[in-house]
Chains A and B, each alone.
Chain A
């Protein structure tokens, strides 16, 4: 029974971390149809921002929850203004440009921080479930994911900003005709997506450590989640994370991490075969 509880926490954690690393990408892809191949590097930069801030004496919580999203969000805005905005509507070109950006960021961080793994110890200690122990930090990651998703929902659903964003997403020309400035919406959205990626990278840094090429480990999973989820940003991310996280974690527990990854990928392939438009192409179609 205790083991079931522990497993449930692990599964929730897997879902939460998938949702966290994917939501930034989902926003950028869902709003602007930009395939951001530098997404993994945004996560990596978030990790470094948190670690550097912590080593300069800033509280780990502020470093993770405030410094990292702001730093990476600003980087995102700069990237959008200098590179991405010239390439809207040219999907192949944006892929090429963001891939180049990804290589550049990996090279830059390697030059600055060296190609070694750095990390911070996870705060908060551990707690007991019957005969088992697990870290409180696991619960913290789950909570962060829940808060982030709820905040995005509230923002898109109930604020004027969300309304404008949704309008621009559906039909940019019509939104422009109604007085919205789409380039500005895009810049803000890209920055927001980057900031969320930075937050995710920072929150996961104490768990997995950070090194310049860690983005590779994240980027494939986040793309699979976003594609598996389909067009709707929130319900897509949540449903795909729930499906893949559960499969991955249970397969890992029953067999080995290798088969856990295999199961995740197999599930993704089957899903895309059955639902080419992703989960929200068929279910939750009216979701956000």
Chain B
């Protein structure tokens, strides 16, 4: 038989078509779910618990029969705290592994690296980290808390407790830059002042001059939005200089990477934080979740973090939407999520806010106490008001940018 271009094309087309039919005929072909997190490098303190939570969520879903009668397959990509790998793995997930959804990204910088990639290749994206807010993109859902949900609560609480003069120190990239502006905004709205905001690249470990500067400014308390392993040395040096007892501290990032366990109680007791989830929350859903988490990963698991819970809840929301849509098609799942889907999560009720693609959820203020996080006050069902002020994806579905507040 002579093979020319035409017969060859017909042949391959037939094979491809057969392949397509056979894949829909075999219903058990797994649904690929991508998890793109830093499992090594300076940000692994955040990434590891997130992937553990994802693993548990997928195993639970598979034990319950999978989704749409198909099992789920988790594909982990370790980005090694390296931004270039984010681009590479996002492309690989979308094009080669053809995943139904990508969960991932830790720092805001990494999110902004993979967001355009996943937009371009039309792959649904869940960003599950608490962040500075303002992302408005129909392809993306954000299950973490934003400043209007946490900073807005913690600033007045801390100011009432300690005083009105707040010195802000933050990591030097978009998260720290924007979050510190939110802190300043809420401090001023509550009648306080911010004498200075200092930014630190992620690899800075010598905070001596800064500690002197803070002392010279004499604030009532310090607000930390420091990020990553190297910045932990700030808390050590702060305590070593004897400052912990004279100037207290509040933070939007502390304990997210289990810093309260790495440091000794003497270095961080009394610090105030505000998040969506704490392992000690008292409700039946959480007690069941903690029990199965510890059963899966060992009773000595240090702490189930805010980011781990964000990831768990992000996956659950997606799975709920897939069930509702009866499909893993991207647009159908987005539309199902935009009906304002809601789950009973370990942190309480979590609902997608359709215009912003962020979440309405409970937040809690807690205090670091001897390697534990003691919940002090609860705030039910907080809306993502910061993003809502600028973003409405129902009215402008083609909007695609991160808004930055102006002060």
Which residues in A have some Cβ–Cβ distance to B below 8 Å? 3, 6-7, 10, 13-14, 17, 110, 114-119, 121-122, 124-127, 131-135, 137-138, 206-209, 211, 213-214, 216-217, 249, 252-253, 256-258, 260
Question: Is there an interface contact between B229 and A209, defined as CB atoms closer than 8 Å?
Answer: yes
* Interface size range on B against A: 35 or more
Question: Is there an interface contact between A258 and B199, defined as CB atoms closer than 8 Å?
Answer: yes
CB distance from A279 to the nearest CB of B (A): 23
CB distance from B229 to the nearest CB of A (A): 4
Question: Is there an interface contact between A209 and B199, defined as CB atoms closer than 8 Å?
Answer: no
Question: Is there an interface contact between B241 and A133, defined as CB atoms closer than 8 Å?
Answer: yes
Q: Does B201 contact A (CB under 8 A)?
A: yes
Q: Does B44 contact A (CB under 8 A)?
A: yes
Starting from the known contacts A211-B229, A257-B206, 11 additional A-B residue pairs (CB-CB under 8 Å) come to A7-B212, A117-B232, A119-B236, A121-B263, A121-B267, A126-B243, A134-B211, A207-B205, A208-B230, A258-B172, A258-B200
B216-236 near A? 1/0 per residue, CB < 8 Å: 100000000000011011001
Question: Is there an interface contact between B208 and A257, defined as CB atoms closer than 8 Å?
Answer: no
Partner of B209, one of A110, A126, A258, A260: A260
27 CB-based A-B contacts, threshold 8 Å: A7-B212, A10-B208, A10-B212, A13-B208, A115-B40, A115-B41, A115-B44, A116-B45, A117-B232, A117-B262, A119-B236, A119-B262, A121-B267, A125-B240, A126-B243, A127-B242, A132-B216, A134-B208, A137-B240, A207-B236, A208-B230, A253-B212, A256-B199, A257-B198, A257-B201, A257-B206, A260-B209
Known: A119-B232, A119-B233. A138 touches B208 (CB 8 A): yes
Which residues in B have some Cβ–Cβ distance to A below 8 Å? 40-42, 44-45, 172, 198-201, 203-206, 208-213, 215-216, 229-230, 232-233, 236-237, 239-243, 246, 262-264, 266-267
Partner of B242, one of A10, A125, A208, A258: A125
Question: Is there an interface contact between B241 and A135, defined as CB atoms closer than 8 Å?
Answer: yes
CB distance from A249 to the nearest CB of B (A): 6
Question: Is there an interface contact between A126 and B242, defined as CB atoms closer than 8 Å?
Answer: yes
Known: A207-B236, A257-B209. A126 touches B241 (CB 8 A): yes
Inter-chain contacts of A132 with B (CB < 8 A): 212, 215-216
Give bound CA distance, A116 to B41, whole Å.
7
CB distance from A247 to the nearest CB of B (A): 12
Inter-chain contacts of B172 with A (CB < 8 A): 258
Question: Is there an interface contact between A208 and B215, defined as CB atoms closer than 8 Å?
Answer: no
Give bound CA distance, A14 to B207, whole Å.
11
CB distance from A60 to the nearest CB of B (A): 13
Question: Is there an interface contact between B232 and A209, defined as CB atoms closer than 8 Å?
Answer: yes
Inter-chain contacts of B212 with A (CB < 8 A): 3, 6-7, 10, 132, 134, 253
Q: Nearest 5 A-B pairs (CB), nearest first?
A: A126-B242, A117-B229, A208-B205, A135-B240, A122-B240
Inter-chain contacts of A207 with B (CB < 8 A): 205-206, 233, 236-237, 240
Inter-chain contacts of A126 with B (CB < 8 A): 240-243
Closest to A121 in B: B264
CB distance from B246 to the nearest CB of A (A): 7
Give bound CA distance, A115 to B81, whole Å.
11
Question: Is there an interface contact between B236 and A121, defined as CB atoms closer than 8 Å?
Answer: yes
Give bound CA distance, A126 to B200, whole Å.
24
Question: Is there an interface contact between B41 and A209, defined as CB atoms closer than 8 Å?
Answer: no
CB distance from A109 to the nearest CB of B (A): 12
Known: A208-B206, A209-B229. A256 touches B198 (CB 8 A): yes
- Residue in A13, A14, A116 with the greatest tally of chain B CB atoms within 10 Å: A116
Give bound CA distance, A92 to B199, whole Å.
38
- Residue in B40, B242, B262, B264 with the greatest tally of chain A CB atoms within 10 Å: B242
Closest to A209 in B: B233
Give bound CA distance, A166 to B44, whole Å.
47
Partner of A122, one of B205, B209, B216, B236: B236
CB distance from B169 to the nearest CB of A (A): 10
Closest to B39 in A: A115
CB distance from B85 to the nearest CB of A (A): 14
Question: Is there an interface contact between A209 and B208, defined as CB atoms closer than 8 Å?
Answer: no
Give bound CA distance, A194 to B303, whole Å.
38
Inter-chain contacts of B230 with A (CB < 8 A): 117, 208-209, 211, 217
Inter-chain contacts of B229 with A (CB < 8 A): 116-117, 209, 211
Question: Is there an interface contact between A208 and B199, defined as CB atoms closer than 8 Å?
Answer: no
Give bound CA distance, A240 to B146, whole Å.
46
CB distance from B42 to the nearest CB of A (A): 7
- Residue in A117, A134, A211 with the greatest tally of chain B CB atoms within 10 Å: A117
Inter-chain contacts of B210 with A (CB < 8 A): 252, 257
Give bound CA distance, A266 to B205, whole Å.
20
Inter-chain contacts of A119 with B (CB < 8 A): 232-233, 236, 262
Closest to B199 in A: A256
CB distance from A141 to the nearest CB of B (A): 10
Inter-chain contacts of A14 with B (CB < 8 A): 206, 208
Known: A117-B229, A117-B262, A121-B266. A209 touches B209 (CB 8 A): no
Question: Is there an interface contact between B45 and A117, defined as CB atoms closer than 8 Å?
Answer: yes
Inter-chain contacts of A116 with B (CB < 8 A): 44-45, 229, 262
Give bound CA distance, A110 to B80, whole Å.
12
Question: Is there an interface contact between A110 and B40, defined as CB atoms closer than 8 Å?
Answer: yes
Closest to B242 in A: A126
